[in-house]
Structure 1
Amino acid sequence: LIPVHEGGDLEILRTEDLPYKYIGSLGIGSNGCVEMVEDVITGRVFAQKIFRRYRGPNPAKFKQGVRNEINILRRLSPHHHIIRLFATYSCGRDFGMILTPVADCGDLGSYLQAILDSRNQLSTEQQVILTRAFGCLTSGLAFIHKQTIRHKDIKPHNILIHQGYIIYTDFGIALDASQSDITTTTGTAEAFTRRYCAPEIAKKHSRNRKSDVFSLGCVFIEILAVL
């Protein structure tokens, strides 16, 4: 087995050489899946985001998209309300990211839905977590924007809860404007979630960091509805 150290960017011949034991699924998306894994050497538990083998006509563009997410996470990882990139690896056309922490309370969307489904009064712990979320999310987004990055897909299912704190995750379609310092874009958005997207995105108008703020406002409304 090949030991994986923090900050590592490995090129390997076989994924079987990685020291990770599968524990369970954390989610499945259009481009891959996220699994909970244990490093059998250190005993630490991570989230492993695996990008499915690309078989389309433009592998270079796909690889650039993966690298874009990796570079963004490396810049944002120091913030405690943003998922931390521990290491990355590539194996042929397969790519993987090792992320931490694994959220002990899952994502905010599932957390809110579970509260609504239970029809019980909020516990003190739930009240504290949801009340704290406003400051956590505002602080995290301010840091993201300070780095001239737009998340572009802020929604409850892309927000994690771990040890009572809130963490942004899934920067798969995020925009890094560090080279130009211009975050305004035009045309049809490559992907968005209509329930949380700003009107200018749905109408294919120009948009910028304010669109993230609108999406965050939608998340705040859903939290307030539960509180």
Structure 2
Amino acid sequence: MGNTIEEPKKIIVAADNLTHKECLELTTKIGHRVHAIKVHEVVDRHGPTVVGEIRKAGAWRVFDDAKLHDIPKTVELRAKAIAEPGASIIAVHASGEVDMMMAAVRGVRNVSDAEIFAITVLTSLDEERAHLTFGQPAKAAALYLARLAKLAGVHGVVCSPKEVGMLAKRPELRGLKFATPGVRSLGQDAGDQKRFDTPAAAVKAGATYLVVGRQLTEAHDPVFALDQIEAEIAEALNDMAASK
């Protein structure tokens, strides 16, 4: 094991469909081992104070998946309000355009070091739906939206494993972080994801962070499930190092 690469924390846990209690229990078990705990409806139900509770339960960071999409001033104020209780990452929709994303960045700037991540094309859209929604293939839409996000000065983008390889290679996007939902090990149920891939494939394609949900949240033993995913990531990183 002496030649094994020590991987940074690359996993973001999508703590969706969990009760307040379940979210805190999961965080206590694995929160210290992952990059962030991503929350959505638990904040809607219990208010912003839950962010502090999750951090106290052991999370390094809390990713508030607010998916902000509104006029710039409203987004600026909401981003500020979300950052104040301690959210480390806040999601906005890149389709809100440059001014809106810039407003989100302004909203958090004087509050904390929270990062803004812009969502490109949702992983629940198959190629046909993506084309109907954006008028172009998913990869073209993701590239267009990622370019807008870069211009706006956000910290990262959210994209599927099917687009991250293309985006990570683009010189104009250098400096962006890439968070990829739709990541699951072989044999795992795809759920409502249409454009998905394995942890190893996402890492090799250039993903900075892997957003993993049901494989961890519905696992009988989430610690063991995390061990398995981390092993896949470590193997992928070692394969990449060996091929250089």
Give 1 or 2: higher strand fraction. Answer: 1
Bigger Rg over Cα:
1
More helix by share: 2
